[in-house]
């Protein structure tokens, strides 16, 4: 092949990837680089200034409030991810093997729920869980309680419930797609060999679904642990997360270096979680679905 033709052939894939690369640079790499630079600068009111320093990282790490909110974020993120993954796995299994004619209608409803407004769903849970909300009103009318239940809103419980509702459709779709190659023949063969329902889950389904399930879990954990909208609206004083403090540093206090440093530390923590998850899957040889 002539050199000119070879160069044209080599440039073809590069030209196709160029728009995606440009978008990644503009909307991911450049903002991240700005945050990194801000995190090493000195704070000015709603701005940054020289000289470069590590003070922002020291303040972010030593802040008792940040430490408390970080534990809140980890705990709520883990609870949300665990509940969402378990429910999503059960729903995806039902859709794949038991739904029958209901499969397409239910998939349509699950997909349609993704397009519902994020804020509308949060306010809906405020209406449902509030002092005069649907649950309390129903229990009072039924005579089951004398006073409205106060623990339903403005705490960890309400934040977890809302976040599970928000992220569940995504996990269901991811796990349903992962179930597609796992035809019923695999489960029928295991059943013919004497495997019980529990054994089929332990020996067939869970090993093959480990990687996509871990992906869904990590997806929900990262997004729920870093959320700042839901905690502000229905979290109260006990359900606040670290994302709220980051927003406060940028919008209310004007301490951009500390806000940037806290963001970078959260990103590094999430990257560490991703690395641990991938290492665990690789060690257990569950890093990819194997069909043969």
Per-residue model confidence as pLDDT tens digits over 178-225: 998 888 888 888 888 888 888 888 888 888 899 999 999 999 999 999
The two three-digit tokens of residue 33, written as one number? 């680089």
Spatial contact of 153 and 126, defined as CB atoms under 8 Å apart: yes
Q: What is the mean pLDDT of the chain?
A: 89
Per the CATH hierarchy, to which homologous superfamily does domain 64-283 belong?
A: MetI-like (1.10.3720.10)
Largest CA distance in the chain: 87
User: Radius of gyration of the chain from Cα atoms?
Assistant: 24
- Measured CA to CA, the distance from residue 43 to residue 49 in angstroms comes to 6
Query: Residues 67-96, buried b or exposed e (16+ Cβ, 10 A)?
Result: eebbebbbebbebbbebbbeebbebbbebb
Of 152, 164, 168, the residue nearest 235 (C-alpha) = 152
Give the number of residues written for the chain: 292
pLDDT digit string, tens, across residues 61-111: 999 999 999 999 999 999 999 999 999 999 999 999 999 899 999 999 999
pLDDT for the residue 9:
59
Sign of the CA dihedral 257, 258, 263, 264? positive
């Amino acid at each position: 092949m002539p050199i000119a033709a070879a160069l044209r052939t080599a440039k073809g894939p590069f030209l196709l990837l160029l728009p995606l690369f440009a978008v990644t640079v503009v909307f991911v790499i450049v903002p991240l680089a700005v945050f990194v630079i801000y995190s090493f600068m000195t704070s000015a009111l709603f701005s940054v200034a020289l000289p470069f320093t590590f003070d922002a990282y020291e303040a972010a790490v030593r802040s008792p409030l940040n430490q408390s909110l970080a534990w809140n974020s980890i705990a709520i993120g883990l609870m949300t991810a665990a509940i969402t993954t378990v429910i999503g796995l059960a729903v995806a299994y039902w859709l794949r093997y038991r739904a029958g004619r209901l499969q397409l209608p239910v998939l349509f409803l699950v997909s349609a729920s993704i397009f519902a407004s994020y804020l509308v769903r949060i306010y809906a849970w405020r209406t449902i869980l509030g002092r005069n909300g649907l649950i309390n009103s129903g229990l009072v009318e039924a005579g089951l309680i004398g006073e409205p239940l106060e623990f339903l809103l403005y705490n960890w419980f309400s934040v977890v419930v809302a976040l599970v509702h928000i992220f569940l459709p995504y996990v269901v779709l991811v796990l349903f797609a992962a179930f597609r190659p796992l035809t019923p023949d695999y489960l029928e063969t295991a059943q013919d060999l004497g495997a019980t329902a529990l054994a089929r889950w332990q020996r067939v389904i869970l090993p093959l679904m480990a990687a996509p399930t871990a992906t869904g879990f990590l997806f929900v954990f990262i997004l729920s642990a870093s959320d700042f909208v839901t905690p502000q609206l229905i979290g109260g004083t006990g359900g606040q997360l670290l994302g709220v403090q980051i927003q406060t540093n940028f919008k209310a206090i004007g301490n951009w270096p500390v806000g940037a440093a806290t963001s970078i530390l959260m990103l590094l923590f999430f990257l560490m979680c991703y690395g641990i998850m991938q290492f665990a899957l690789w060690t257990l040889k569950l890093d990819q679905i194997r069909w043969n």
